[in-house]
């Protein structure tokens, strides 16, 4: 494998993990992270989705911390 193939595969894995995490977070986790629990509209969820996809490791950390405090 060449370096470019390895980098491409790594980016594909990162994007796949981000997509799964972002969809789960926008569907279920956003209400757990917001304090006090505030219902998020569909528009707000759509705006949060790309950022959650790109920053999925940070989103997971915040989500797990929020679940542990309640």
- 56 neighbors 23 (Cβ within 8 angstroms): no
Domain that holds residue 54: 3-69
Summarised one tens digit per residue, pLDDT across range 7-43 is 999 999 999 999 999 999 999 999 888 877 788 899 9
Please state the domain count of the chain: 1
For residues 39 and 23, give the distance between their C-alpha atoms in angstroms, rounded to a whole number: 16
* Per-residue H/E/C for 13-49: HHHHHHHHHHHHHHHHHHHHHCCCCCCCCHHHHHHHH
CA distance between the termini of the chain:
46
Q: Is the pLDDT of residue 70 over 70?
A: no
């Amino acid at each position: 494998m060449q370096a470019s193939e390895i980098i491409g595969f790594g980016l594909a894995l990162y994007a796949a993990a981000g997509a799964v995490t972002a969809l789960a977070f926008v569907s279920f986790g956003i209400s757990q992270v917001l304090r006090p629990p505030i219902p998020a509209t569909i528009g707000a969820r759509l705006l949060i989705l790309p950022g959650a996809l790109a920053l999925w490791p940070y989103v997971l950390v915040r989500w797990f911390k929020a679940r542990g405090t309640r």
